[in-house]
Structure 1
């Protein structure tokens, strides 16, 4: 990519990040182009679809998330690693309103621009789950698909304004359902949260 094209690409991504942070996944491609002071055709040349734009926006976050799973896998006990990574994922899911819906649709669609990134997240969570199951700290009757579905469900719930204030409590309830013998009193948020 030429230097001017790379600069344009970086500028569009920076503006897109701001617009998507403000408006979530429903941000208008026209609004992104307008605010980046480029034509819609220029935006579409770099990002031919909304998914391609989100893949570019999210790939750094998702790569970091997958790398974090690798670090936790070698540095923490299996149960702690699974819960810490799940917490990291929730933090990521809160970064862009609506991103979880995109990921849920993309994780089984190889034609999606987000498929590879979503598959990496799914694989990382499944690895951490299997490791915790091997140690006996996670339920044996669930698999990576179940865990990804629970993560997605929590991500969707905390994306809703009415549930967002309960994010920590919902996280602890789901983590308690995944782990065996987790002390619910130790980490649970107050009942009124």
Structure 2
């Protein structure tokens, strides 16, 4: 992570930025556009100056919070594939996808406000998610654990359906059951 000037952020500055982004996701999901920047700073344990130095406007903060959630989701793929068998990594990632979708749904009102300013926070979201899914599917197919006739687009459509119908925190148990159902359907012997 780099500063505006392109220099890497100090460790404490990076931690503060992460705390602000996490707090922003939670508070915008809870309160939408009624969320106060000062509340986000307080929740993150930083001063208002630190918040505004990193994110000079509400729109910049909303966009950064969304992109950070997308980055966490997509950047998790290599670590997951390194730490567990490919099919388990794929299943773990699908749970993270639901976390990402839940945050996105919670922030919908705030994200719409950003789009209205002419900024598209979703510009590369689909491509990044499809790339992450393709990596996970490819590793699972190579390991012989999932069927080879399912594309990243197919799986993305299924995950999006689960997120849209079961994306609220209180629906998480149902979402997990549906993710397991997809996992069962992906198994190589399921054909």
TM superposition score normalised by structure 1: 0.61
Q: 2:68 maps to which residue? A: 60
**TM-aligned CA distance change 1:76 to 1:31, over 3 Å:** closer
Q: 1:148 maps to which residue? A: 156
Contact 1:12 1:32 (8 Å CA) reproduced: no
| Residue correspondences, number | 159
Give the CA RMSD over aligned residues: 3.9
How far 1:124 moved relative to its partner? 0.8
Q: 1:46 maps to which residue? A: 57
Q: 1:138 maps to which residue? A: 146
Contact 1:61 1:92 (8 Å CA) reproduced: yes
Question: 5 Å matches for 1:62-101?
Answer: 62-98=70-106
Question: 5 Å matches for 1:100-139?
Answer: 112-139=120-147
Q: 1:157 maps to which residue? A: 165
Residues 34-78 of structure 1: CA deviation (Å, up to 9, x unaligned): 96799xxx9xx7355xxx654311222222222210112233222
**TM-aligned CA distance change 1:20 to 1:47, over 3 Å:** closer
Contact 2:133 2:152 (8 Å CA) reproduced: yes
How far 1:114 moved relative to its partner? 2.1
Residues 16-50 of structure 1: CA deviation (Å, up to 9, x unaligned): 43432214xxx22x654696799xxx9xx7355xx
How far 1:180 moved relative to its partner? 2.8
Question: Helix, strand or coil: the match of 1:97?
Answer: helix
Distance across 1 between alignment mates of 2:58 and 2:37: 11
- The answer on 1:179 being equivalent to 2:190 is no
Question: Helix, strand or coil: the match of 1:94?
Answer: helix
TM superposition score normalised by structure 2: 0.61
How far 1:170 moved relative to its partner? 1.6
| Unpaired segments ≥5 residues, structure 1 | 104-110, 183-193
Distance across 1 between alignment mates of 2:82 and 2:169: 36
Question: Helix, strand or coil: the match of 2:175?
Answer: helix
**TM-aligned CA distance change 1:132 to 1:139, over 3 Å:** same
Distance across 1 between alignment mates of 2:149 and 2:180: 19
**Higher RCO by CA contacts (8 Å cutoff, separation 6 or greater):** 2
